[in-house]
Chain A
Amino acid sequence: MSGWAILNWLAWAGCAVFAVLLTIDFVRVERGRKGSDDEPEGGA
Protein backbone atom coordinates (compact mmCIF):
# COMPACT_ATOMS: atom_id res chain seq x y z
CA MET A 1 0.00 0.00 0.00
CA SER A 2 1.44 3.41 -0.99
CA GLY A 3 1.91 6.33 1.39
CA TRP A 4 -0.98 8.22 -0.20
CA ALA A 5 -3.32 5.25 0.24
CA ILE A 6 -2.36 5.08 3.94
CA LEU A 7 -3.06 8.80 4.25
CA ASN A 8 -6.48 8.25 2.69
CA TRP A 9 -7.27 5.62 5.32
CA LEU A 10 -6.02 7.90 8.08
CA ALA A 11 -8.36 10.62 6.82
CA TRP A 12 -11.29 8.18 6.95
CA ALA A 13 -10.22 7.21 10.50
CA GLY A 14 -10.14 10.90 11.46
CA CYS A 15 -13.69 11.30 10.10
CA ALA A 16 -14.82 8.36 12.22
CA VAL A 17 -13.18 9.81 15.35
CA PHE A 18 -14.89 13.21 14.98
CA ALA A 19 -18.24 11.61 14.10
CA VAL A 20 -18.05 9.40 17.20
CA LEU A 21 -17.03 12.31 19.47
CA LEU A 22 -19.93 14.43 18.21
CA THR A 23 -22.42 11.56 18.49
CA ILE A 24 -21.40 10.61 22.04
CA ASP A 25 -21.69 14.17 23.30
CA PHE A 26 -24.95 14.80 21.44
CA VAL A 27 -26.56 11.64 22.89
CA ARG A 28 -25.31 12.53 26.40
CA VAL A 29 -26.76 16.05 26.19
CA GLU A 30 -30.08 14.88 24.77
CA ARG A 31 -30.45 12.24 27.49
CA GLY A 32 -29.73 14.87 30.13
CA ARG A 33 -32.27 17.18 28.52
CA LYS A 34 -35.00 14.51 28.64
CA GLY A 35 -34.63 14.49 32.40
CA SER A 36 -35.49 18.19 32.56
CA ASP A 37 -38.22 18.63 29.94
CA ASP A 38 -39.34 21.96 31.40
CA GLU A 39 -35.93 23.50 30.69
CA PRO A 40 -36.41 26.61 28.55
CA GLU A 41 -34.61 26.71 25.20
CA GLY A 42 -32.32 29.50 23.93
CA GLY A 43 -32.85 33.19 24.66
CA ALA A 44 -31.83 35.60 27.37
Chain B
Amino acid sequence: MARGGEKRGRPAPHLSRVLGPMHIWALGVGIVLVGEFMGWNFGIAKGGTLGILIACWVIGILFICLVMLSTEMGSVIPEAGGQYAMAKYLLGPLASFNVGLMLVFEYVMLEAADALVIGELLRTLNPEIQVLPYVLLVLLALTYLNYRGVRVTLSFNAVITIVAFLTIFVLFFAARAHGPGVGPFQLAQHSSGLPFGWIGILGALQFAIWFYLGIEGTALAAEECRSTGRALPVGAIAGVATLLIGATLTWYVASGLLDAARLGRSVYPLYDAANATGIKFVIAALFAGTLLACLASANGCITDASRAWYSMSRDTLIPRAFSALHPKYKTPYRAILFLLPIAPAFGFTGLLDQVITFSILSALLVYLLTGFMMVRFRRMYPLGSIRRGYTAPAHPVPAIVLILLAAATLIGMYFGYWVNVVAGLAFYLAASVWFTLRRERHVDAAAFLARGAGEWPRPRGY
Protein backbone atom coordinates (compact mmCIF):
# COMPACT_ATOMS: atom_id res chain seq x y z
CA MET B 1 0.00 0.00 0.00
CA ALA B 2 1.46 3.34 -0.97
CA ARG B 3 1.64 6.25 1.47
CA GLY B 4 1.11 9.96 1.12
CA GLY B 5 0.12 11.55 -2.14
CA GLU B 6 -2.62 13.80 -0.69
CA LYS B 7 -2.37 17.29 -1.98
CA ARG B 8 -2.34 19.74 0.90
CA GLY B 9 -3.04 23.42 1.31
CA ARG B 10 -6.47 23.97 -0.24
CA PRO B 11 -9.67 22.38 1.07
CA ALA B 12 -10.81 19.61 -1.31
CA PRO B 13 -14.20 19.94 -3.01
CA HIS B 14 -16.93 17.82 -1.45
CA LEU B 15 -20.43 16.55 -2.21
CA SER B 16 -23.27 18.95 -1.32
CA ARG B 17 -25.05 18.40 2.02
CA VAL B 18 -28.58 19.10 0.81
CA LEU B 19 -30.66 15.98 1.46
CA GLY B 20 -33.37 15.43 4.09
CA PRO B 21 -35.38 12.35 5.18
CA MET B 22 -37.81 12.76 2.25
CA HIS B 23 -34.96 12.51 -0.26
CA ILE B 24 -33.58 9.42 1.49
CA TRP B 25 -37.05 7.85 1.40
CA ALA B 26 -37.32 8.71 -2.31
CA LEU B 27 -33.91 7.20 -3.03
CA GLY B 28 -34.66 3.92 -1.22
CA VAL B 29 -38.30 3.42 -2.21
CA GLY B 30 -37.70 4.82 -5.70
CA ILE B 31 -35.11 2.14 -6.46
CA VAL B 32 -37.16 -0.68 -4.98
CA LEU B 33 -40.76 0.12 -5.91
CA VAL B 34 -40.24 -1.28 -9.41
CA GLY B 35 -40.02 -4.67 -7.66
CA GLU B 36 -43.77 -4.48 -6.94
CA PHE B 37 -44.42 -3.91 -10.64
CA MET B 38 -42.23 -6.75 -11.98
CA GLY B 39 -39.97 -9.66 -11.00
CA TRP B 40 -41.50 -10.90 -7.71
CA ASN B 41 -44.20 -12.93 -9.46
CA PHE B 42 -41.71 -15.41 -11.00
CA GLY B 43 -41.54 -16.82 -7.45
CA ILE B 44 -45.10 -18.14 -7.89
CA ALA B 45 -43.76 -20.68 -10.39
CA LYS B 46 -41.22 -21.83 -7.78
CA GLY B 47 -43.27 -21.78 -4.58
CA GLY B 48 -46.92 -21.12 -5.45
CA THR B 49 -49.18 -18.22 -4.43
CA LEU B 50 -48.79 -18.87 -0.71
CA GLY B 51 -45.10 -19.71 -1.09
CA ILE B 52 -44.26 -16.27 -2.49
CA LEU B 53 -46.30 -14.59 0.27
CA ILE B 54 -44.44 -16.44 3.03
CA ALA B 55 -41.13 -15.79 1.22
CA CYS B 56 -42.08 -12.09 1.05
CA TRP B 57 -42.51 -11.94 4.84
CA VAL B 58 -39.28 -13.88 5.46
CA ILE B 59 -37.33 -11.53 3.18
CA GLY B 60 -39.05 -8.59 4.91
CA ILE B 61 -37.39 -9.76 8.15
CA LEU B 62 -34.03 -9.94 6.32
CA PHE B 63 -34.40 -6.33 5.18
CA ILE B 64 -35.54 -5.01 8.54
CA CYS B 65 -32.36 -6.50 10.01
CA LEU B 66 -30.30 -5.09 7.15
CA VAL B 67 -31.69 -1.57 7.52
CA MET B 68 -31.17 -1.62 11.30
CA LEU B 69 -27.53 -2.69 10.94
CA SER B 70 -26.78 -0.39 8.00
CA THR B 71 -28.39 2.54 9.75
CA GLU B 72 -26.37 2.06 12.94
CA MET B 73 -23.08 1.74 11.07
CA GLY B 74 -24.02 4.36 8.45
CA SER B 75 -24.92 6.92 11.11
CA VAL B 76 -21.37 6.69 12.42
CA ILE B 77 -19.67 6.86 9.00
CA PRO B 78 -20.79 10.11 7.33
CA GLU B 79 -19.42 9.17 3.91
CA ALA B 80 -20.85 8.26 0.53
CA GLY B 81 -20.53 4.55 -0.17
CA GLY B 82 -22.87 2.88 2.38
CA GLN B 83 -21.80 -0.71 2.95
CA TYR B 84 -18.68 0.06 0.95
CA ALA B 85 -17.60 2.73 3.41
CA MET B 86 -18.37 0.38 6.30
CA ALA B 87 -16.24 -2.39 4.74
CA LYS B 88 -13.44 0.12 4.31
CA TYR B 89 -13.16 0.85 8.02
CA LEU B 90 -14.12 -2.60 9.30
CA LEU B 91 -12.67 -5.13 6.84
CA GLY B 92 -9.86 -3.46 4.84
CA PRO B 93 -9.00 -2.67 1.18
CA LEU B 94 -9.70 -6.03 -0.54
CA ALA B 95 -13.11 -6.50 1.08
CA SER B 96 -14.08 -2.87 0.46
CA PHE B 97 -13.00 -3.16 -3.19
CA ASN B 98 -15.29 -6.20 -3.53
CA VAL B 99 -18.21 -4.60 -1.69
CA GLY B 100 -17.86 -1.45 -3.84
CA LEU B 101 -17.82 -3.50 -7.04
CA MET B 102 -20.83 -5.57 -5.88
CA LEU B 103 -22.81 -2.42 -5.12
CA VAL B 104 -21.96 -0.92 -8.51
CA PHE B 105 -23.08 -4.09 -10.32
CA GLU B 106 -26.17 -4.49 -8.15
CA TYR B 107 -27.39 -1.06 -9.20
CA VAL B 108 -26.14 -1.06 -12.80
CA MET B 109 -27.77 -4.46 -13.46
CA LEU B 110 -30.98 -3.22 -11.84
CA GLU B 111 -30.86 -0.19 -14.13
CA ALA B 112 -30.39 -2.55 -17.10
CA ALA B 113 -33.46 -4.54 -15.97
CA ASP B 114 -35.45 -1.29 -15.72
CA ALA B 115 -34.41 -0.41 -19.27
CA LEU B 116 -35.55 -3.84 -20.46
CA VAL B 117 -38.98 -3.49 -18.84
CA ILE B 118 -39.46 0.05 -20.18
CA GLY B 119 -38.77 -1.36 -23.66
CA GLU B 120 -41.22 -4.25 -23.19
CA LEU B 121 -43.89 -1.91 -21.87
CA LEU B 122 -43.58 0.60 -24.73
CA ARG B 123 -43.80 -2.23 -27.22
CA THR B 124 -47.33 -2.95 -25.95
CA LEU B 125 -48.49 0.48 -27.16
CA ASN B 126 -47.88 -0.08 -30.86
CA PRO B 127 -45.69 -2.42 -32.93
CA GLU B 128 -44.36 0.61 -34.84
CA ILE B 129 -42.59 1.87 -31.72
CA GLN B 130 -38.81 1.42 -31.79
CA VAL B 131 -37.69 0.59 -28.27
CA LEU B 132 -34.05 1.69 -28.56
CA PRO B 133 -34.46 5.50 -28.87
CA TYR B 134 -36.92 5.71 -25.96
CA VAL B 135 -34.77 3.63 -23.62
CA LEU B 136 -31.67 5.63 -24.55
CA LEU B 137 -33.63 8.87 -24.12
CA VAL B 138 -34.73 7.82 -20.64
CA LEU B 139 -31.22 6.84 -19.57
CA LEU B 140 -29.63 9.99 -21.03
CA ALA B 141 -32.27 12.26 -19.46
CA LEU B 142 -31.82 10.63 -16.04
CA THR B 143 -28.05 10.80 -16.37
CA TYR B 144 -28.35 14.49 -17.20
CA LEU B 145 -30.54 15.01 -14.13
CA ASN B 146 -28.00 13.23 -11.92
CA TYR B 147 -25.20 15.24 -13.51
CA ARG B 148 -26.97 18.50 -12.60
CA GLY B 149 -27.32 17.84 -8.87
CA VAL B 150 -28.47 15.32 -6.29
CA ARG B 151 -31.21 17.46 -4.72
CA VAL B 152 -33.13 18.02 -7.93
CA THR B 153 -32.61 14.35 -8.87
CA LEU B 154 -34.09 13.00 -5.65
CA SER B 155 -36.87 15.61 -5.48
CA PHE B 156 -37.94 14.40 -8.93
CA ASN B 157 -37.67 10.82 -7.65
CA ALA B 158 -39.92 11.62 -4.68
CA VAL B 159 -42.69 12.90 -6.97
CA ILE B 160 -42.66 9.99 -9.44
CA THR B 161 -42.29 7.40 -6.64
CA ILE B 162 -45.35 8.75 -4.80
CA VAL B 163 -47.41 8.74 -8.02
CA ALA B 164 -46.30 5.17 -8.87
CA PHE B 165 -47.08 3.98 -5.32
CA LEU B 166 -50.55 5.53 -5.44
CA THR B 167 -51.41 3.66 -8.65
CA ILE B 168 -51.30 0.36 -6.66
CA PHE B 169 -54.05 1.82 -4.43
CA VAL B 170 -55.96 2.95 -7.55
CA LEU B 171 -55.96 -0.65 -8.77
CA PHE B 172 -57.01 -1.95 -5.35
CA PHE B 173 -59.95 0.43 -4.82
CA ALA B 174 -61.11 0.51 -8.44
CA ALA B 175 -61.16 -3.30 -8.66
CA ARG B 176 -63.13 -3.49 -5.39
CA ALA B 177 -65.63 -0.93 -6.62
CA HIS B 178 -66.14 -2.40 -10.10
CA GLY B 179 -65.39 -6.08 -9.53
CA PRO B 180 -67.61 -8.81 -10.94
CA GLY B 181 -70.47 -10.41 -8.93
CA VAL B 182 -68.84 -12.61 -6.28
CA GLY B 183 -66.15 -10.05 -5.48
CA PRO B 184 -63.26 -8.52 -7.34
CA PHE B 185 -60.47 -10.52 -5.74
CA GLN B 186 -60.93 -14.26 -6.21
CA LEU B 187 -57.98 -15.47 -4.20
CA ALA B 188 -59.37 -18.95 -3.52
CA GLN B 189 -60.02 -19.64 -7.21
CA HIS B 190 -56.74 -18.17 -8.51
CA SER B 191 -54.35 -19.38 -5.79
CA SER B 192 -51.98 -22.29 -6.39
CA GLY B 193 -51.33 -22.56 -2.63
CA LEU B 194 -48.08 -24.29 -1.67
CA PRO B 195 -47.61 -26.79 -4.54
CA PHE B 196 -44.02 -27.71 -3.61
CA GLY B 197 -44.33 -27.39 0.19
CA TRP B 198 -41.67 -25.70 2.29
CA ILE B 199 -38.88 -26.35 -0.22
CA GLY B 200 -40.86 -24.18 -2.67
CA ILE B 201 -40.58 -21.28 -0.23
CA LEU B 202 -36.80 -21.63 -0.33
CA GLY B 203 -36.94 -21.42 -4.13
CA ALA B 204 -39.23 -18.38 -3.98
CA LEU B 205 -36.93 -16.40 -1.65
CA GLN B 206 -34.75 -15.09 -4.50
CA PHE B 207 -37.83 -13.58 -6.19
CA ALA B 208 -39.38 -12.26 -2.98
CA ILE B 209 -36.17 -10.27 -2.51
CA TRP B 210 -37.28 -8.26 -5.54
CA PHE B 211 -39.88 -6.56 -3.28
CA TYR B 212 -37.08 -4.87 -1.33
CA LEU B 213 -33.85 -5.14 -3.34
CA GLY B 214 -31.83 -1.93 -3.19
CA ILE B 215 -33.32 -0.28 -0.07
CA GLU B 216 -29.86 -0.38 1.50
CA GLY B 217 -28.86 2.18 -1.13
CA THR B 218 -30.19 4.85 1.22
CA ALA B 219 -26.86 4.64 3.07
CA LEU B 220 -24.98 5.56 -0.10
CA ALA B 221 -26.20 9.13 0.26
CA ALA B 222 -24.99 9.50 3.87
CA GLU B 223 -22.40 12.12 2.96
CA GLU B 224 -24.97 14.28 1.19
CA CYS B 225 -27.47 14.44 4.10
CA ARG B 226 -27.91 17.71 6.02
CA SER B 227 -28.19 15.63 9.22
CA THR B 228 -26.99 12.08 8.67
CA GLY B 229 -28.05 10.88 12.12
CA ARG B 230 -31.66 11.94 11.50
CA ALA B 231 -32.20 11.69 7.75
CA LEU B 232 -30.82 8.16 7.33
CA PRO B 233 -32.81 6.23 9.97
CA VAL B 234 -36.06 8.19 9.43
CA GLY B 235 -35.85 7.92 5.63
CA ALA B 236 -34.73 4.28 5.53
CA ILE B 237 -37.16 2.87 8.12
CA ALA B 238 -40.08 4.83 6.61
CA GLY B 239 -38.96 3.33 3.29
CA VAL B 240 -39.10 -0.26 4.57
CA ALA B 241 -42.55 0.37 6.10
CA THR B 242 -43.77 1.76 2.76
CA LEU B 243 -42.42 -1.27 0.92
CA LEU B 244 -44.00 -3.75 3.37
CA ILE B 245 -47.41 -2.16 2.78
CA GLY B 246 -46.79 -2.04 -0.99
CA ALA B 247 -45.60 -5.66 -1.17
CA THR B 248 -48.60 -7.05 0.75
CA LEU B 249 -51.07 -4.99 -1.27
CA THR B 250 -49.39 -5.96 -4.55
CA TRP B 251 -49.55 -9.66 -3.72
CA TYR B 252 -53.22 -9.41 -2.72
CA VAL B 253 -54.31 -7.44 -5.78
CA ALA B 254 -52.31 -9.39 -8.38
CA SER B 255 -53.07 -12.83 -6.90
CA GLY B 256 -56.74 -11.97 -6.61
CA LEU B 257 -57.10 -10.75 -10.20
CA LEU B 258 -54.89 -13.18 -12.16
CA ASP B 259 -54.68 -16.95 -11.93
CA ALA B 260 -51.40 -18.33 -10.61
CA ALA B 261 -50.24 -19.86 -13.91
CA ARG B 262 -50.60 -16.55 -15.79
CA LEU B 263 -49.25 -14.43 -12.93
CA GLY B 264 -46.14 -16.64 -12.63
CA ARG B 265 -45.14 -15.78 -16.23
CA SER B 266 -46.08 -12.10 -16.43
CA VAL B 267 -43.37 -9.51 -17.24
CA TYR B 268 -45.41 -6.70 -15.62
CA PRO B 269 -47.89 -8.34 -13.18
CA LEU B 270 -49.66 -5.22 -11.87
CA TYR B 271 -50.25 -3.90 -15.39
CA ASP B 272 -51.62 -7.31 -16.40
CA ALA B 273 -53.81 -7.30 -13.26
CA ALA B 274 -55.12 -3.88 -14.32
CA ASN B 275 -55.87 -5.28 -17.78
CA ALA B 276 -57.84 -8.07 -16.09
CA THR B 277 -60.19 -5.50 -14.54
CA GLY B 278 -61.06 -4.13 -17.99
CA ILE B 279 -61.38 -0.59 -16.56
CA LYS B 280 -59.70 1.87 -18.93
CA PHE B 281 -58.51 4.48 -16.45
CA VAL B 282 -57.07 1.76 -14.19
CA ILE B 283 -55.18 0.25 -17.14
CA ALA B 284 -53.82 3.71 -18.03
CA ALA B 285 -52.90 4.38 -14.38
CA LEU B 286 -50.99 1.11 -14.04
CA PHE B 287 -49.23 1.63 -17.37
CA ALA B 288 -48.06 5.01 -16.06
CA GLY B 289 -47.29 3.52 -12.63
CA THR B 290 -45.10 0.76 -14.10
CA LEU B 291 -43.28 3.25 -16.32
CA LEU B 292 -42.73 5.74 -13.46
CA ALA B 293 -41.53 2.98 -11.11
CA CYS B 294 -38.95 1.92 -13.72
CA LEU B 295 -37.87 5.56 -14.14
CA ALA B 296 -37.55 6.10 -10.39
CA SER B 297 -35.56 2.90 -10.02
CA ALA B 298 -33.19 3.70 -12.88
CA ASN B 299 -32.77 7.24 -11.52
CA GLY B 300 -31.87 6.01 -8.02
CA CYS B 301 -29.57 3.35 -9.45
CA ILE B 302 -27.58 6.00 -11.36
CA THR B 303 -27.24 8.00 -8.12
CA ASP B 304 -26.14 5.00 -6.03
CA ALA B 305 -23.80 3.32 -8.54
CA SER B 306 -21.99 6.59 -9.20
CA ARG B 307 -21.56 7.27 -5.45
CA ALA B 308 -20.07 3.81 -4.90
CA TRP B 309 -17.72 4.24 -7.91
CA TYR B 310 -16.78 7.74 -6.72
CA SER B 311 -15.98 6.49 -3.24
CA MET B 312 -13.78 3.66 -4.53
CA SER B 313 -11.89 6.13 -6.68
CA ARG B 314 -11.48 8.69 -3.90
CA ASP B 315 -10.00 5.94 -1.72
CA THR B 316 -7.62 5.00 -4.60
CA LEU B 317 -9.02 1.45 -4.92
CA ILE B 318 -9.55 2.30 -8.60
CA PRO B 319 -7.87 5.16 -10.55
CA ARG B 320 -8.38 8.58 -8.92
CA ALA B 321 -9.71 10.13 -12.13
CA PHE B 322 -13.27 9.07 -11.18
CA SER B 323 -13.24 11.00 -7.91
CA ALA B 324 -13.42 14.39 -9.62
CA LEU B 325 -16.43 16.50 -8.61
CA HIS B 326 -18.23 18.93 -10.86
CA PRO B 327 -17.08 22.43 -9.84
CA LYS B 328 -20.60 23.88 -10.03
CA TYR B 329 -23.04 21.02 -9.33
CA LYS B 330 -20.81 19.13 -6.82
CA THR B 331 -21.69 15.77 -8.39
CA PRO B 332 -19.25 12.93 -9.25
CA TYR B 333 -19.69 13.75 -12.93
CA ARG B 334 -16.95 11.51 -14.33
CA ALA B 335 -18.27 8.47 -12.44
CA ILE B 336 -21.81 9.24 -13.63
CA LEU B 337 -20.75 9.47 -17.29
CA PHE B 338 -18.39 6.47 -17.11
CA LEU B 339 -21.17 4.15 -15.88
CA LEU B 340 -23.74 5.46 -18.41
CA PRO B 341 -23.07 2.97 -21.27
CA ILE B 342 -22.92 -0.17 -19.07
CA ALA B 343 -26.65 -0.45 -18.29
CA PRO B 344 -27.88 -0.22 -21.92
CA ALA B 345 -25.09 -2.61 -23.00
CA PHE B 346 -26.43 -5.29 -20.64
CA GLY B 347 -30.04 -4.23 -21.12
CA PHE B 348 -30.00 -4.86 -24.84
CA THR B 349 -28.88 -8.46 -24.42
CA GLY B 350 -32.60 -8.94 -23.69
CA LEU B 351 -31.81 -11.47 -20.94
CA LEU B 352 -33.99 -10.07 -18.14
CA ASP B 353 -33.65 -13.07 -15.79
CA GLN B 354 -29.85 -13.22 -16.22
CA VAL B 355 -29.47 -9.50 -15.55
CA ILE B 356 -31.74 -9.69 -12.49
CA THR B 357 -29.91 -12.75 -11.15
CA PHE B 358 -26.53 -11.01 -11.27
CA SER B 359 -28.01 -7.98 -9.49
CA ILE B 360 -29.53 -10.17 -6.76
CA LEU B 361 -26.35 -12.25 -6.33
CA SER B 362 -24.26 -9.09 -5.90
CA ALA B 363 -26.74 -7.76 -3.33
CA LEU B 364 -26.85 -11.03 -1.35
CA LEU B 365 -23.06 -11.10 -1.07
CA VAL B 366 -23.15 -7.55 0.30
CA TYR B 367 -25.88 -8.53 2.81
CA LEU B 368 -23.81 -11.48 4.05
CA LEU B 369 -20.80 -9.23 4.54
CA THR B 370 -22.97 -6.61 6.28
CA GLY B 371 -23.90 -9.16 8.97
CA PHE B 372 -20.24 -9.99 9.57
CA MET B 373 -19.33 -6.29 9.59
CA MET B 374 -21.90 -5.56 12.30
CA VAL B 375 -20.45 -8.28 14.56
CA ARG B 376 -16.97 -6.83 14.02
CA PHE B 377 -18.19 -3.25 14.47
CA ARG B 378 -19.72 -3.96 17.89
CA ARG B 379 -16.52 -5.79 18.94
CA MET B 380 -14.29 -2.92 17.84
CA TYR B 381 -16.61 -0.17 19.10
CA PRO B 382 -18.90 -1.40 21.94
CA LEU B 383 -21.87 0.78 22.96
CA GLY B 384 -20.67 3.99 24.60
CA SER B 385 -17.28 4.03 22.86
CA ILE B 386 -18.46 6.05 19.86
CA ARG B 387 -21.39 8.42 19.22
CA ARG B 388 -24.13 6.61 17.25
CA GLY B 389 -27.06 8.29 15.48
CA TYR B 390 -29.02 5.05 15.94
CA THR B 391 -28.46 1.84 17.93
CA ALA B 392 -29.83 -1.46 16.58
CA PRO B 393 -31.61 -3.42 19.36
CA ALA B 394 -30.97 -7.01 20.50
CA HIS B 395 -27.50 -7.36 19.05
CA PRO B 396 -26.30 -9.91 17.77
CA VAL B 397 -29.72 -11.37 16.86
CA PRO B 398 -30.34 -9.13 13.79
CA ALA B 399 -26.84 -9.83 12.43
CA ILE B 400 -27.24 -13.62 12.82
CA VAL B 401 -30.75 -13.58 11.29
CA LEU B 402 -29.44 -11.52 8.37
CA ILE B 403 -26.56 -13.95 7.71
CA LEU B 404 -28.82 -17.04 7.93
CA LEU B 405 -31.55 -15.62 5.67
CA ALA B 406 -29.07 -14.31 3.08
CA ALA B 407 -27.35 -17.72 3.01
CA ALA B 408 -30.73 -19.51 2.66
CA THR B 409 -31.65 -17.23 -0.28
CA LEU B 410 -28.30 -17.93 -1.94
CA ILE B 411 -28.91 -21.68 -1.56
CA GLY B 412 -32.41 -21.32 -3.05
CA MET B 413 -30.92 -19.31 -5.91
CA TYR B 414 -28.28 -21.97 -6.53
CA PHE B 415 -31.03 -24.57 -7.16
CA GLY B 416 -32.51 -22.53 -10.01
CA TYR B 417 -29.55 -20.60 -11.42
CA TRP B 418 -26.41 -22.46 -10.37
CA VAL B 419 -24.48 -21.47 -13.52
CA ASN B 420 -25.17 -17.77 -12.80
CA VAL B 421 -24.20 -18.13 -9.14
CA VAL B 422 -20.92 -19.89 -9.99
CA ALA B 423 -20.16 -17.43 -12.82
CA GLY B 424 -20.87 -14.46 -10.54
CA LEU B 425 -18.65 -15.79 -7.78
CA ALA B 426 -15.90 -16.49 -10.35
CA PHE B 427 -16.18 -12.88 -11.57
CA TYR B 428 -15.68 -11.46 -8.06
CA LEU B 429 -12.83 -13.92 -7.43
CA ALA B 430 -11.10 -12.80 -10.65
CA ALA B 431 -11.61 -9.14 -9.65
CA SER B 432 -10.05 -9.90 -6.24
CA VAL B 433 -7.03 -11.55 -7.89
CA TRP B 434 -6.61 -8.50 -10.17
CA PHE B 435 -6.87 -6.15 -7.20
CA THR B 436 -4.33 -8.10 -5.12
CA LEU B 437 -1.78 -8.50 -7.92
CA ARG B 438 -2.14 -5.23 -9.83
CA ARG B 439 -3.95 -2.57 -7.85
CA GLU B 440 -3.36 -2.96 -4.13
CA ARG B 441 0.16 -1.50 -4.30
CA HIS B 442 -1.29 1.74 -5.70
CA VAL B 443 -3.72 2.18 -2.80
CA ASP B 444 -2.84 5.33 -0.90
CA ALA B 445 -3.02 4.44 2.81
CA ALA B 446 -3.36 8.08 3.85
CA ALA B 447 -6.23 8.73 1.43
CA PHE B 448 -7.91 5.41 2.24
CA LEU B 449 -8.36 6.03 5.95
CA ALA B 450 -7.76 9.78 6.25
CA ARG B 451 -11.41 10.77 6.80
CA GLY B 452 -12.28 8.26 9.51
CA ALA B 453 -8.95 8.44 11.31
CA GLY B 454 -9.73 11.96 12.49
CA GLU B 455 -13.29 11.22 13.60
CA TRP B 456 -13.13 7.73 15.16
CA PRO B 457 -11.46 6.77 18.42
CA ARG B 458 -9.07 3.81 18.42
CA PRO B 459 -10.96 0.51 18.48
CA ARG B 460 -10.95 -1.72 21.55
CA GLY B 461 -7.79 -3.82 21.72
CA TYR B 462 -5.87 -1.55 19.34
Contact assessment for A44 and B140 in the assembled complex, using a CB-CB cutoff below 8 Å: no
Interface of A is mostly: helix
Contact assessment for A15 and B314 in the assembled complex, using a CB-CB cutoff below 8 Å: no
Q: Which residues of A contact B143 (CB under 8 A)?
A: 18, 22
Interface residues of A, CB < 8 Å — how many?
25
Q: Name the segment of B5-13, B95-103, B160-168, B394-402 touching the other chain.
A: B5-13
Instruction: Tell me which of A11, A26, A39, A43 contacts B134 (CB under 8 A).
Output: A11
CA distance A42 to B126 in the complex (A): 46
Contact assessment for B133 and A8 in the assembled complex, using a CB-CB cutoff below 8 Å: yes
- Interface range for B: 35 or more
Contact assessment for A19 and B451 in the assembled complex, using a CB-CB cutoff below 8 Å: no
> What distance in Å separates the Cβ of B171 from its nearest Cβ neighbour in chain A?
27
Q: Which residues of A contact B144 (CB under 8 A)?
A: 18, 21-22
Contact assessment for B447 and A15 in the assembled complex, using a CB-CB cutoff below 8 Å: no
CA distance A3 to B13 in the complex (A): 48
Q: Which residues, 281 to 331 on B, are CB-close (under 8 Å) to A?
A: 310, 313-314, 320, 323-327
CA distance A12 to B130 in the complex (A): 10
Verify if B230 is at the interface (C-beta below 8 Å from A): no
CA distance A41 to B144 in the complex (A): 21
A residues in contact (CB < 8 Å) with B: 2, 4-5, 7-8, 11-12, 14-15, 18-19, 21-22, 25-26, 29, 32-33, 38-44
B residues in contact (CB < 8 Å) with A: 6-7, 10-15, 126, 128-130, 133-134, 136-137, 140-141, 143-144, 147, 223, 310, 313-314, 320, 323-327, 332-333, 337, 447, 450-451
Q: List 29 A-B contacts (CB under 8 A).
A: A4-B126, A7-B129, A8-B133, A11-B130, A11-B133, A11-B136, A11-B137, A14-B133, A14-B137, A15-B140, A18-B137, A18-B140, A19-B140, A21-B144, A22-B143, A29-B326, A29-B333, A33-B324, A33-B327, A38-B7, A39-B13, A40-B7, A40-B10, A41-B314, A41-B324, A42-B15, A42-B323, A42-B324, A43-B447
